[in-house]
Structure 1
Amino acid sequence: MTFAVPVVDISSYVHDGTPEQRATTARAMDDACRTVGFVQVVGHGVPDAVATGLAGAMDAFFGLPLEAKNGWRTPPEVNRGYSPPKSESLSLSLGVEAASRMNDFFEAFNVGASQATYPHAPGLPQPDYAANTWPDVPGFEPAVGAWFTEAARVARTLTRVFADSLGLAPDFFARLTGHSLDVLRMNNYALPEGTVRLDGDLTGMGEHTDYGIVTVLWADRVAGLQVLGGDGDWHDVMPAEGALLVNLGDVTARLTNERWLSTLHRVKPPIVDGTIVRRRSAAFFHDGDVDALITTLPSCLEPGEEPRYLPVTVGEHVAAKLRGSRAGVVNTAADREAARVLAARS
């Protein structure tokens, strides 16, 4: 059977669609989330100019010399600022010790929702809601901020679709995301000559699942992203023209007892004539409130079926994942995801 990422049009939720139109969208989303866990989302309403501004801002920052970019590096426990090449290993977020060295060659810059974003919720824990570190690059902050706002809108729209797809109250996800741990991670895979050696099994970004509720991804239409299918094989995925790639995170898999999958994915950019083809992406992670307790939805349990996961707060879960990917501390609480990685055919 040919692997394909379903296309779902969410315009009926972005605009004032009829109940029948929204029901059709919700059914399509449920089918996509049950079978693949990745979705090509169209009808999202993000202006082309905002995407163009994001790409330009990323190019301006990542085009700086490495020593300049390192000036905006933060400690591993602060999920903000610059991450240089080979300072992370996403596979460790799953506890896959075969990848127990920091070898992912991408570089990244993170911004996120801070305490100032949620004035209605004073006293949020730090560094979960750390202030952003903005580089001194003309136009970077407004361009990235505009994309962050649009991606956040799309993510929250998607959770309304999810609620209808799962037969939940319309405000179910809103109750989990009043002060959501939202992070935008901008990634660059085209590094200066001599930065990485093009030998062996080069890792752009190691196998991992995303941590939260949903991820909204903008990416170049360049090969590199691979998704683990139900057949145990890795499949190439490229965003369709004008589409945003959307995938589910661990929180949603836990809520639905894996009725909906948090799909494993990785990045292995193509090499042409000894050079890594440029690939950029920006992933907006909508993770949920740090103190939200995630337990399996009773409606997602068949008669006699037991939950596959113990209750956990979003903050506890995300912290364990980040200790793996950013600090090299093997995550021992991701045995189900790790088993899928180890069973996959390369």
Structure 2
Amino acid sequence: MVVLTKPSLGQVSLTRPQKPNHHHPPGIPVINLSEPGAEALVVRACEELGFFKVTDHGIPMELIAKLEEEAVKFFALPQTEKERVGPASPFGYGSKNIGCNGDTGWVEYLLMEITSKPMSHASLAFLTEPSASSFRSALNEYMSAVRKLACVVLESMAEGLKIEPRNIFSKLVMDEESDSVLRLNHYPPCPMPEASEGVVTGFGEHTDPQIISVLRSNDTAGLQISLRDGSWVSVLPDRAAFFINVGDSLQVLTNGRFRSVRHRVLANGLKSRVSMIYFGGPPSGERLAPLSLLMREGEESHYREFTWCEYKRCAYKTMLADNRLGQFEK
């Protein structure tokens, strides 16, 4: 796999080591989706951490491996060929620069807009070329499967919360106008700075704006999540499982009962890391506010109502680490 074209370490940010957490860090919840009682475990994980791993998810490993193989082939192309796809604005190919507000990372990526309609890749013209047919096929199969998985998890949340209808969350990502995204990230092996006071950031700390994120990676470590006390815990990779993030929008819908998880990726000195993330978002005009079904008697809404389009515009104007929800709180 090809590394980025000799990017200098001055172009990416350093993360200073955090104060160690002397308490035994909690394990990442692992939930078998087919076992009885999974719904209650999903709710507890969303409340306590905003992050968990799912197994027995029903997506064949062959399908997962197929898209990963296509991603590896794409990122191994000469830099000039990859740049034909971009620049990411926001969709397309990007390298080192994340967004348009100065965030940088030791990463290159492909960002694609996904809808429930037949897949539209208007910003990725290369996918219409005959040579990209296997990539296009892998994307379609993977997206169909991972969207269904997102809905299974979201419906488990509704069941665990004992609210009706069962699809109260999942209908938002299955809507024909749902604003969903697939991101393929490649973190090349990183020549670590000698005697550095920090480590190189692959992708800076942030929360995901959407409702739910479904992610997986190859066998290379790097992902970390933040606990409530501000300490960071490394997530061991598991290429056969999927990890679920609660997004900002779901935090709003549950009036803060579910918490959007803050996470980051640190660069690896020796191995490439490839990750694939599906971000399930609501339709652009969807109005987001805490669901009355989840409000306890006398409980007040922590957020003012806003549309997903409004929130997304706000997110694009911020830095990764900013608290985007802050300006929507009451």
Q: Shorter-chain-normalised TM-score: which range?
A: 0.7 to 0.9
Q: Report runs of 4+ in structure 1 exceeding 4 Å deviation.
A: 196-201, 330-333
- Inter-partner Cα distance in structure 2 for 1:61 and 1:197: 28
Aligned residues: 296
- State whether residues 81 and 132 of structure 1, in contact with CA within 8 Å, keep that contact through their aligned partners in structure 2: yes
- State whether residues 187 and 282 of structure 1, in contact with CA within 8 Å, keep that contact through their aligned partners in structure 2: yes
Residue of structure 2 equivalent to 1:172: 168
- Inter-partner Cα distance in structure 2 for 1:248 and 1:171: 17
Of 48, 51, 73, which residue of structure 2 is paired with 1:35? 48
Query: The residue matched to 1:106 in structure 2 has which SS?
Result: strand
Query: The residue matched to 1:318 in structure 2 has which SS?
Result: helix
- State whether residues 225 and 269 of structure 1, in contact with CA within 8 Å, keep that contact through their aligned partners in structure 2: no
Residue of structure 2 equivalent to 1:97: none
Distance 1:166 1:141, change over 3 A: same
TM-score (ref. length: structure 1)? 0.77
- Inter-partner Cα distance in structure 1 for 2:193 and 2:103: 15
Residue of structure 2 equivalent to 1:305: 299
Q: Partner amino acid for 1:59?
A: V
Query: The residue matched to 1:31 in structure 2 has which SS?
Result: helix
Which deviates more from structure 2 when the two are superposed, residues 154-163 or residues 173-182?
173-182
Q: Partner amino acid for 1:50?
A: L
1:331 Cα deviation (Å)?
Answer: 6.5
Residue of structure 2 equivalent to 1:54: 67
Residue of structure 2 equivalent to 1:334: 325
Of 34, 45, 50, which residue of structure 2 is paired with 1:11? 34
Residue of structure 1 equivalent to 2:244: 246
Q: Partner amino acid for 1:27?
A: A
Which runs of no fewer than 5 residues in structure 1 stay unpaired?
13-20, 93-99, 119-128, 338-346
Residue of structure 2 equivalent to 1:151: 146
Distance 1:75 1:132, change over 3 A: closer
Matched, 1:322 2:316: yes
- Inter-partner Cα distance in structure 2 for 1:239 and 1:279: 10
1:80 Cα deviation (Å)?
Answer: 2.2
Query: The residue matched to 2:260 in structure 1 has which SS?
Result: coil
- What pairs with 1:103-122 in structure 2 (closer than 5 Å)? 103-114=104-115, 116-117=117-118
- Inter-partner Cα distance in structure 2 for 1:130 and 1:49: 24
Distance 1:305 1:183, change over 3 A: same
- Inter-partner Cα distance in structure 2 for 1:236 and 1:295: 32
Query: The residue matched to 1:183 in structure 2 has which SS?
Result: strand
Matched, 1:133 2:133: no
- Inter-partner Cα distance in structure 2 for 1:233 and 1:259: 21
- State whether residues 11 and 45 of structure 1, in contact with CA within 8 Å, keep that contact through their aligned partners in structure 2: no
Distance 1:216 1:2, change over 3 A: same
Distance 1:332 1:280, change over 3 A: closer
1:105 Cα deviation (Å)?
Answer: 2.2
Distance 1:115 1:228, change over 3 A: closer
Residue of structure 2 equivalent to 1:161: 156
- State whether residues 9 and 43 of structure 1, in contact with CA within 8 Å, keep that contact through their aligned partners in structure 2: yes
Which deviates more from structure 2 when the two are superposed, residues 38-47 or residues 313-322?
313-322
- Inter-partner Cα distance in structure 1 for 2:34 and 2:116: 31
- What pairs with 1:54-93 in structure 2 (closer than 5 Å)? 54-74=67-87, 76=89, 79-85=90-96, 87-88=97-98
Residue of structure 1 equivalent to 2:223: 225
- State whether residues 214 and 285 of structure 1, in contact with CA within 8 Å, keep that contact through their aligned partners in structure 2: yes
- Inter-partner Cα distance in structure 2 for 1:269 and 1:310: 38
Distance 1:61 1:37, change over 3 A: same
- Inter-partner Cα distance in structure 2 for 1:269 and 1:105: 7
Residue of structure 2 equivalent to 1:261: 259
Distance 1:54 1:205, change over 3 A: same
1:107 Cα deviation (Å)?
Answer: 0.8
Question: What's the C-alpha RMSD, in Å, of the aligned pairs?
Answer: 2.7
